[in-house]
């Protein structure tokens, strides 16, 4: 019996051990470098513009890749921070494309956690990162960490550089070794930008606060975002459109108040050291804007059916609403003094209805709603799970999704698999591989030939139960076999050990 028990334990340990993640062979320690390279050319520098053209408003856009070069073991989390001169460079976007084959965590992209990037153009830095969960890590020789887009707004030579560990914000690469979190030593390389241009006028820009001021309340106007691509701004000229004289100043920030409610079109003109100028207008509403809301009926709308839109719940806290402007999203716009209006849509589709209301002081507010004309499709899917080589393969079938009407048909399926992977297809069936057990909210959106859509979400439970049960059954089968063989052997031994005519005395 002791022999049978030992055999079963060894079999179970062997079977369960197979289910653990395989650990790849470690690389030798070597110098690693975080590089900033041009996304198009792979170079560590870029030249933007020509001597014959001006710097375009908003600057020259460009995108860089942040890469890791050099063998790195057990990488499971990283964060990268890039520093830039905020007066010359602006960051417009930063992201990690988990579906890029060069992404360092590409093989485990479904369990990579990627928080939103933090972009700070006031202080001149951007940082972002990613991590793997549940103890997974990678051994790599090189890979893509992230991508960042910038605009260069000033002529001259500029640089991007990686903030080293200990910087603010901290930039680091980390990995586990014997259960400890450790920084990975690395070198960095700068990225060089050269911007050349013909003489270029300045760019005017300003903000104001508070966004909805009251009469006689001080308002701060801030033009610090104004800049001159090839020189300096010398002065700012403000026209507040309230009958007061223009204000000329060398300062980028100024305060002003309006004596009565109304809508004012404020103009800022900036002048640079070469005598060029540029202007910008912004509307400011002084006073309490009207509150807006509308509904419609019937809920199910068909082509050429009369639809009633009702804005009677809109109101003005300190006056009266005297104009309603309806944009029905089908090329028709109607202005009326009444709270209700009717409209007919001639075809099926999705229409965005926009309502703007104006009060007796000219103050206004807007809102919009999306409506369906026609019966939307019905979204439905089924799925089946198989486990192959430690991977969880799920086959999804959306053939039970139906168009809303017989003469319509579904043209597009968008699958959100709940693991950060989203796929669009025209096929009713699709296969997806999950790397981890867990519960995943799978969302299917179906679109018909009229643009109408509908969705359904189901929680998919990925469990090791099926695989584990199979192995237990195998183990149980082997156990039964071992028990049977052992019992047979013992039985034979009993038969051959005793005399034919009885037991020994």
Residues 256 and 281 in one domain: yes
Residue 489 lies in a domain: no
- My answer on whether 64 and 155 are in the same domain is yes
User: Consecutive 10-residue runs of the chain (505 residues): their mean pLDDT?
Assistant: 29 28 38 93 97 95 96 88 96 94 89 89 93 85 96 97 68 57 80 97 97 96 96 97 97 98 98 96 97 97 98 96 97 97 98 98 97 98 90 94 96 94 94 90 98 97 59 36 35 38 37
Tell me the CATH number at 62.
2.60.40.680
What is the pLDDT, as a whole number, of residue 502? Answer: 38
Which candidate, 435, 394, 436, places its Cα nearest to that of 415?
Answer: 394
Residues 126, 252 within the same domain: no
Whole-angstrom distance, CA of residue 264 vs CA of residue 281? 10
43 and 188 together in one domain: yes
HSE-up (13 A, CA, CB side) for residue 276: 17
Which residue among 330, 354, 373 closes a domain? 373
CB 463 within 8 A of CB 438: no
476 within domain boundaries: no
> Residue 30: its pLDDT value, please?
61
- Is 342 found in the same domain as 245? no
Instruction: Give the pLDDT score at 135.
Output: 77
Q: What is the pLDDT of residue 165?
A: 61
**Residues 48 and 106 reside in one and the same domain:** yes
For 325, the domain range is: 295-373
Q: Are residues 357 and 237 in the same domain?
A: no
Q: Residue 258 falls within a domain, yes or no?
A: yes
CA nearest 194: which of 14, 415, 13, 44? 44
- 215 & 159 share domain: no
Identify whether 4 is part of a domain.
no
pLDDT of the residue at 480: 37
Looking at the structure, tell me whether residues 174 and 59 fall in a common domain: yes
Is 139 found in the same domain as 48?
yes
User: Which residues lie across from 453 on neighbouring strands?
Assistant: 447
| Local structure of residue 223 (DSSP, 8 states) | -
Tell me: do 42 and 191 sit in the same domain. yes
Domain boundary among 135, 170, 195: 195
Residue 495 resides in a domain:
no
**Domain-terminating residue out of 373, 406, 435:** 373
In a domain, 503, yes or no: no
Taking the C-alpha atoms of residue 293 and residue 299, their distance in angstroms, rounded to an integer, is: 17
Count of domains in the chain? 4
41 within a domain of the structure (yes/no): yes
By C-alpha distance, which of 252, 204, 206, 202 is closest to 232? 202
- Is residue 477 assigned to a domain? no
Distance CA 306, CA 342 (A): 6
Element (H, E) at 78: strand 60-83
Domain with residue 397: its CATH number is: 2.60.40.10
Model pTM? 0.76
pLDDT at residue 487 in the model: 38
170 alpha-carbon distance from chain centroid: 23
Q: Quote the pLDDT of residue 111.
A: 78
Task: Based on the fold, state whether residues 235 and 188 are members of the same structural domain.
Answer: no
CA dist 391 and 434 (Å) reads: 6
Pairing of strands 60-83, 172-177: antiparallel
**Hey, what's the torsion of the CAs at 462, 465, 470, 476, to 10 degrees?**
170
């Amino acid at each position: 019996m002791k022999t049978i028990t030992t055999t079963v334990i060894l079999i179970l340990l062997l079977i369960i051990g197979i289910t653990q993640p395989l650990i790849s062979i470690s690389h030798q320690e070597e110098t690693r470098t975080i590089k900033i390279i041009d996304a198009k050319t792979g170079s560590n520098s870029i030249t933007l513009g020509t001597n014959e053209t001006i710097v375009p408003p908003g600057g020259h856009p460009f995108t860089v890749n942040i890469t890791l070069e050099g063998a790195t073991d057990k990488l499971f989390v990283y964060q990268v921070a890039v520093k830039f001169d905020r007066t010359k460079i602006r960051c417009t976007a930063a992201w990690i494309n988990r579906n890029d084959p060069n992404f360092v965590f590409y093989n485990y992209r479904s369990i990579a956690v990627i928080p939103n990037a933090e972009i700070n153009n006031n202080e001149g830095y951007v940082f972002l990162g990613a991590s793997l969960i549940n103890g997974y890590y990678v051994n790599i020789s090189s890979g893509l960490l992230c991508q960042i887009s910038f605009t260069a707004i000033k002529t001259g030579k500029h640089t991007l550089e990686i903030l080293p560990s200990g910087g603010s914000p901290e930039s680091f690469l980390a990995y586990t070794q014997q259960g400890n979190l450790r920084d990975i030593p690395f070198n960095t390389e700068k990225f060089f930008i050269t911007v050349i241009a013909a003489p270029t006028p300045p760019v005017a820009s300003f903000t104001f606060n508070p966004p909805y001021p009251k009469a006689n309340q001080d308002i701060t106007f801030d033009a610090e975002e104004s800049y001159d691509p090839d020189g300096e701004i010398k002065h700012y000229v403000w026209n507040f459109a309230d009958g007061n004289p223009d204000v000329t100043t060398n300062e980028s920030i100024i305060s002003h108040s309006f004596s009565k409610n109304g809508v004012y079109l404020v103009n800022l003109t900036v002048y640079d050291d070469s005598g060029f100028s540029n202007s910008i207008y912004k509307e400011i509403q002084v006073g309490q804007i009207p509150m807006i809301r509308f509904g419609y009926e019937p809920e199910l709308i068909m082509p050429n059916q009369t639809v009633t839109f009702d804005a009677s719940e809109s109101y003005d806290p300190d006056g009266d609403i005297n104009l309603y402007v309806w944009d029905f999203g089908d090329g028709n716009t109607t202005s009326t003094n009444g709270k209700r209006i009717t409209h007919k849509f001639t075809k099926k589709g999705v229409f965005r209805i926009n309502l703007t209301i104006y009060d007796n002081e000219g103050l206004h507010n807007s809102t919009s709603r999306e409506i369906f004309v026609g019966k939307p499709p019905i979204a439905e899917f089924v799925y089946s799970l198989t486990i192959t080589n430690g991977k969880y393969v799920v086959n999804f079938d959306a053939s039970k999704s139906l168009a809303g009407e017989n003469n319509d048909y579904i043209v597009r399926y968008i699958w959100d698999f709940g693991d950060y992977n989203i796929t669009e297809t025209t096929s009713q069936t699709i296969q997806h591989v999950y790397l981890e057990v867990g519960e995943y909210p799978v969302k299917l959106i179906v679109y018909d030939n009229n643009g109408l859509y509908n969705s359904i979400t189901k929680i998919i439970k990925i469990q090791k139960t099926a695989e584990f049960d199979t192995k237990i059954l195998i183990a149980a089968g082997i156990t039964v076999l071992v028990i049977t063989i052992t019992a047979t052997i013992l039985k034979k031994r009993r038969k051959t050990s005793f005399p034919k005519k009885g037991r020994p005395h």
